[in-house]
């Protein structure tokens, strides 16, 4: 291929990519750069800004509410992500052998909460978890269990919120794992069965290694999603009671739009960005090397 032809093809490719690259730069890169720059200032409702350098980050180090938000977010990530991976993979293993029509039904059923949106889901769960007339307490009352204020006590609020988020995020991994299972060549498990492999050995030696690319994608996206939980917190608890359900993203929102400390909120957003980047890199290093090998 001549140099002129390669140049023309590259130019055509960049022309096709230009609108998307422009939109990405305007709506993603520019706000990111603005947030990084704003984190170095003391900024509020007035146009005046005072350069404070790293003072906002020093303040974060001693901010008890931000520390609480970090701990709550870590709890959600550490609890939700492994549970979501395990449940979604288990459900996918049960759904994948079914007929295509049955598969389509279960895919729709599990994906519907995610399509409905966080606000709708939160409103439904507010009714389910209501301490007076909620469905969950009514069911438990049939077995003699006393009513529980699921969202009104510090010990139950965050686990209850995690359960709500789990029902929201479970659909996408199930669909991805079913697609990953469908892409496994049928001769591989058949050969393993002929060699005497049982169900557990078949899962460990054939199914799981073939699903590693899907597993990596689901792990990274679900981790990022769990670190950015906001809608259900805003609708259901507003960070209460006593900051028991305060998450990093909700703390950023509260600082920016309730207290109008835009510079300080930007510093929190920078910390969250750094945490997400570190976690994603670690996950890619651990699982990505296995996939390459």
Average pLDDT over residues 131-135: 89
What are 85's two structure tokens? 């991976």
Given a cut of 70, whether residue 293 has pLDDT beyond it is no
CA 220 to chain centroid: 8
Q: 50 - beta bridge partners?
A: 42
Length of the chain: 293
Q: What is residue 78's predicted lDDT score, i.e. its pLDDT? A: 92
CB 79 within 8 A of CB 89: no
Residues 162-218 have pLDDT tens digits of: 999 988 888 889 989 998 988 888 888 888 887 777 788 888 888 888 898 899 899
Across 22-34, average pLDDT = 92
User: What mean pLDDT do residues 128-156 have?
Assistant: 90
What integer pLDDT is reported at residue 168 of this predicted model? 85
Strand runs (DSSP E) across the chain, as ranges?
41-43, 49-51
Give the pLDDT of residue 284: 81
Q: What is the pLDDT of residue 290?
A: 54
**CATH numeric code, 64-292:** 1.10.3720.10
* pLDDT beyond 80 at 76: yes
Produce one character per residue of 64-74: b if its CB has 16 or more CB atoms within 10 Å, e if not. eebebbbebbe
Identify whether the C-beta of residue 165 lies closer than 8 Å to the C-beta of residue 84: no
Could you report the per-residue pLDDT of 221-277, keeping only the tens digit for each?
999 989 999 999 999 999 989 899 999 999 999 999 999 999 999 999 999 999 999
Q: To which residue do tokens 């007929």 refer?
A: 99
**Is 226:81 a contact under the CB 8 Å cutoff?**
yes
Query: Is the CB of residue 248 less than 8 Å from the CB of residue 227?
Result: yes
Beta bridge partners of 42: 50
166 close to 84: Cβ distance less than 8 angstroms: yes
Percent of the chain with pLDDT over 70: 97
Percent of the chain with pLDDT over 90: 46
Residues 256-268: tens digit of each pLDDT = 999 999 999 999 9
d(CA 147, CA 126): 15
């Amino acid at each position: 291929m001549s140099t002129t032809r390669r140049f023309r093809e590259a130019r055509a490719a960049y022309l096709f990519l230009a609108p998307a690259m422009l939109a990405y730069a305007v709506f993603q890169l520019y706000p990111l750069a603005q947030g990084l720059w704003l984190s170095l200032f003391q900024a509020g409702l007035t146009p005046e800004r005072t350069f404070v350098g790293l003072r906002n980050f020093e303040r974060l180090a001693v901010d008890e509410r931000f520390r609480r938000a970090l701990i709550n977010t870590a709890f959600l990530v550490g609890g939700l992500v492994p549970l979501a991976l395990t449940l979604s993979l288990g459900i996918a293993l049960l759904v994948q052998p079914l007929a295509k029509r049955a598969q389509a039904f279960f895919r729709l059923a599990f994906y519907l909460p995610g399509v409905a949106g966080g606000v709708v889901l939160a409103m439904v769960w507010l009714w389910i978890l209501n301490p007076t007339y909620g469905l969950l307490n009514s069911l438990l009352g049939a077995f003699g269990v006393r009513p529980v204020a699921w969202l009104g006590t510090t010990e139950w609020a965050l686990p209850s919120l995690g359960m709500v988020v789990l029902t929201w995020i479970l659909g996408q991994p199930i669909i991805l794992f079913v697609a990953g299972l469908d892409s496994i060549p049928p001769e591989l498990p058949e050969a393993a069965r002929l060699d005497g492999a049982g169900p557990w050995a078949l899962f460990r030696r054939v199914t799981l290694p073939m699903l590693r690319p899907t597993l990596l994608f689901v792990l990274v996206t679900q981790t990022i999603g769990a670190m950015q939980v906001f809608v259900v917190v805003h609708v259901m608890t507003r960070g209460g009671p006593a900051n028991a359900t305060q998450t990093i993203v909700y703390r950023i929102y509260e600082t920016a739009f309730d207290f109008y400390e835009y510079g300080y909120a930007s510093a929190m957003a920078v910390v969250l960005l750094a945490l997400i980047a570190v976690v994603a890199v670690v996950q890619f290093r651990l699982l990505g090397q296995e996939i390459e090998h």
